[in-house]
């Protein structure tokens, strides 16, 4: 369902957005909870590229989470520095704000896809 049309009905659009938000959050949970075995010799070249990309991305995201949770450090104080990533929660909140406006939804999806530089690599790997 990667290239589905945006629903005309506001109720259907709301359901699609909710489904996307849940999917983004599940994907982030899986990304962070999976041990990416990049040295596994049984992986095909395509799976190895995916595992390497996912492993690097999850490592960077864990590092960011650890840095922002350090004592005396708020995520607001590092927002300017960490411009390379939005959390799944932030992405879902951004998508949820455009319910009912399919044009704005498409712009937000395009913005998230281009802003989150790791996403095309995961999809392409």
pLDDT-based confidence at residue 94 (cuts at 50, 70, 90): confident
What is the rounded average pLDDT of the residues 97-101? 74
Pick from 108, 124, 80: nearest CA to 24: 108
Please give the structure tokens belonging to residue 50.
């995916």
Mean pLDDT of the chain: 76
Residue 88 reports pLDDT greater than 70: yes
pLDDT-based confidence at residue 9 (cuts at 50, 70, 90): confident
What is the rounded average pLDDT of the residues 89-113? 78
Helix (DSSP H) and strand (DSSP E) numbers for the chain: 6, 0
């Amino acid at each position: 369902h990667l290239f589905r049309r945006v629903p005309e009905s506001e109720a259907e659009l709301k359901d699609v957005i909710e489904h996307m938000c849940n999917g983004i959050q599940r994907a982030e949970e899986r990304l962070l909870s999976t041990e990416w075995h990049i040295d596994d010799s049984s992986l095909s070249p395509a799976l190895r590229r995916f595992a390497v990309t996912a492993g690097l991305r999850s490592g960077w995201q864990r590092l960011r989470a650890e840095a922002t949770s350090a004592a005396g450090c708020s995520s607001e104080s590092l927002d300017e520095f960490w411009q390379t990533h939005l959390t799944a929660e932030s992405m879902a909140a951004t998508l949820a704000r455009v319910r009912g406006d399919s044009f704005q939804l498409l712009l937000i999806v395009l913005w998230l896809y281009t802003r989150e530089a790791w996403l095309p690599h995961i999809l392409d790997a």
